[in-house]
A and B are shown apart, each in its own frame.
Chain A
Amino acid sequence: MSGALFLGWRYLAHHRFKSAILVASITLMLFLPVATRLLVEDSATALTARADRTPLILGARGSELELVLNTLYFHAETPAEIENRAFVEAQSTGLAEFIPIHSRFHAQGAPIVGTSLDYFDFRGLSVANGRQMGLLGECVIGARTAARLGLAPGESIVSSPETVFDIAGVYPLKMKIAGVLAPSGTADDDAVFVDVRTAWIIQGLGHGHADLAEPEAGAAVLSRRDDVITANASLTQFAEITAENISAFHFHGADETFPLTSIIVVPSDQKSAALLRGRYQDSEVLQLVVPGSVLDDLLETVFAVQNYVILGLTILSLAAAAVITLVFLLSQQLRQGEFHTLLRIGASRGYVSVLIASEIGFVVFISASLAAALTLVTRYYAMQILQTFLTL
């Protein structure tokens, strides 16, 4: 019997091109529907897990999906900004823990997230290397960003202008890396975290420059009139915050008017959550959303599309299976002489049947193994694939 298996294997090896086509066809038949379902389910689980761990998000009225995706993944389109006043007022209610988020800028391809220390406690993020950000202009970076850019504590990362032609707008800020976060397997691994005030400096709401009242700033002074000093265009603003110039940094305007992209809201209990939802229900400028519900709506659409895709793939697989069956049948017709020779030299009909079955079995087994391996790989990279989708 082992001779039949050997012959079957040798046949496939001899006709390796035909065998490879068969294996590839069956692999794809098995892999595509399963992988599609797994990818969607894993992605949905990952999406909802992060969303479910984020009870409520407060942001500007507009697209709920943009607000949620920007707050959770920092990648989607920047939602309309809200004033920091909303954060201050929300905090005064004492109904929840409020975590500010300013996610608008990027540094070398990584999103810059301005927030408070509460964010790290809330997400369970710890510093693996270095220390927590302390001074203005310092940042802590996610593990994947650190690995991708080869950065370590003590080095620097520079914020990117929003557009190439933004000459008069946002100045790049060189930020010192205070620490690298331990990997979390979430979007936090890709981010650059700064104090929300540092984000405001990147936005140009705060800056540092030489003291215009000092004689050293003479060349930069256009005019002095009573208590008003006007600087000319040569006044340079510091592009990096250091221990030497940090005291020269200051903000213009009231903190309450400075922008945030959203606020993560962690109510102390169900009653507080209900009170907060009631508070913002009729607001014309603010909306309080439940990230889980928003993503459920998104996922409903994704699942509906998935079902159509899987239906299509199943029909294609059935067609492919029919063609493959036909290939096997035709192959046996062509090999009638070979089988006849085997019978004449003493092989039983059972032996020939085992030979044919072994060839089909080998092809199916190899295809199934490859499909399983591909499925595992797909599952492993599901989050990256999803994040690519979200970035788009």
Chain B
Amino acid sequence: MIDQRILLISIVLLISACGGAGKQAEVEGASSENSEGTLAVTSNYPMYFYASRITDGVVGAPDIVFPDIDGDPAFWTPSAEQIQLLQSADVVILNGAGAESWLNLITLNRRRLVDTLVNIADRLIPLEDSVQHQHGPEGDHSHQGTAFTTWLDPQLAISQAEVVTRALIELVPRGEAQFRDNMAKLEQEFMALDTRLAEVFAKLDGRPVLFSHPVYQYLQRRYGINGESVDWEPDQEPTTSAWIAMQQILVTHPATIMIWEDEPLMSTAQRLSDAGITSVPFHTVANRPDQGDYLSVLRENAERLESML
């Protein structure tokens, strides 16, 4: 089984190496020299970051693998090789809250799944704007869920990282002391980030803000942001009806800042600027960043926003 895993990881790495010079590795993490053959696969980048930091330098810690995902991991459909990788994992670390829409679509050993939000389900934010539909004898139903970008709230991130720590201890019990030490250090960094984000958002002082996409619910709740969300994509020109809808929001919510998942199109940013709205990218870091890591990207987000205030 262990040999099969190494072969599988190697195949996926090889595919990625052939995939283009600028492309990130298909599987981040892969085999470490310290590993004793156990494997933990994560479903998004924040979970990979937590697990990597908790296992950092621990002899015998499992390999932490985050499969290469093009775009938002929430809309990922694993390939056949990636499914085999997930099936061979000793533990699959999930964000939970519905972030893994693919989970119901593939065959996995359910006992090996670790939902990092399972213990704090009461702190999840339900989504409101789902459309109901009706066909057949089943009556009305909707595909409603909860917001899942929990990692934007460092307090929730601490809870999730603690679940990751427990899962890793269960997998490699003799690494417990080091896992806990690493978790304690990580928690301090989360707290520092929390303080920094709180400082920056406090400067908004209740000023209305627009979010380009409904993915900032936990950030909004944590820092008391007076925000309203539209549903725009940074790489697409908003439609006329989208502009009209935004204008209607602005009537009661006169925002001067729009927070984006990524740098918007120049034309969009200019038109917003003409309307007196400053565009500020605030990366959600759901997927592996081109540069830096989870903490550095969120700190840069804070600095970028602060410079605009």
List chain A positions with a Cβ less than 8 A from chain B.
91, 97, 116-118, 131-136, 138, 195, 197, 209, 212-213, 227-232, 235, 243, 246-247, 249-252
Chain A nearest Cβ from B94, distance in angstroms? 15
Alpha-carbon distance A241/B78, docked complex (angstroms): 15
Residues from chain B with Cβ under 8 Å of A197 in the complex:
104
In the complex the two chains form, is B132's CB within 8 Å of A134's CB?
Answer: no
Q: Would A117 and B101 count as touching, CB distance under 8 A?
A: no
Is the pair B134, A117 in contact by a Cβ cutoff of 8 Å?
no
Chain A: minimal CB distance from B98 (Å): 12
Quick one: closest B residue to A87, CB to CB?
B110
B131 contacts A213, CB within 8 Å? yes
A135-B83, A247-B101 as given contacts; A227 in contact with B131, CB under 8 Å: yes
Q: Report B75 CB to chain A, min CB distance, Å.
A: 8
Stretch of B135-143, B195-203, B226-234 that contacts chain A = B135-143
Given contacts A91-B111, A246-B77, contact A231 B133 (CB under 8 A): yes
Q: Is the interface of A mostly helix, strand, loop or mixed?
A: mixed
List 21 A-B pairs, Cβ < 8 Å.
A132-B87, A132-B107, A134-B83, A134-B84, A134-B107, A135-B105, A135-B106, A136-B105, A138-B107, A213-B131, A213-B133, A227-B129, A227-B130, A227-B132, A228-B133, A228-B140, A230-B135, A231-B134, A250-B143, A251-B104, A252-B138
What secondary structure prevails in chain B residues at the interface with A?
mixed
Chain A residues, Cβ within 8 Å of B87: 117, 132, 134
Instruction: List, in ascending order, chain B residues with CB within 8 A of A209's CB.
Output: 135
Question: Using Cβ atoms and an 8 Å threshold, which residues of chain A touch B140?
Answer: 228
Contact string against A for B residues 39-53, beta-carbon threshold 8 Å, 1 for contact and 0 otherwise: 000000000000000
Contact with A along B112-144 (1 / 0, CB 8 A): 000000000000000001111111001011110
- A-B pair count, CB < 8 Å, reads 79
Asked if B132 and A228 sit within 8 Å, CB to CB, the answer is: yes
Within 8 A of A (CB), among B87-104: 87, 101, 104
Give chain B nearest CB distance to A166 CB in angstroms: 14
In this complex, what residue of B is CB-closest to A255? B104
Known interface pairs A118-B111, A131-B84, A247-B101. Does A136 touch B106 (Cβ–Cβ under 8 Å)? yes
Of the listed residues B77, B107, B109, the one surrounded by the most CB atoms of chain A closer than 10 A to its CB is B107
- Quick one: closest A residue to B86, CB to CB? A134
Interface members, chain B 23-81 (any A CB < 8 Å): 75, 77-78, 80
Select from chain A the residue with minimum beta-carbon distance to B103.
A197
Which 5 residue pairs spanning A and B have beta carbons closest together?
Answer: A231-B135, A134-B83, A195-B107, A229-B133, A230-B134
Shortest distance from the beta carbon of A237 to any chain B beta carbon, whole Å: 9
Answer whether residue B204 sits at the interface, using C-beta atoms and an 8 A cutoff: no
Contact (Cβ within 8 A) B131 A229: yes
Query: How near does chain A come to B258, taking the closest CB pair, in angstroms?
Result: 25
B-side contacts of A247, CB under 8 Å: 75, 77, 101, 105
Within 8 A of A (CB), among B139-161: 140-143
B134 touches A228 (CB 8 A): yes
Instruction: Given A133-B107, A134-B106, verify A230-B133 contact (CB < 8 Å).
Output: yes
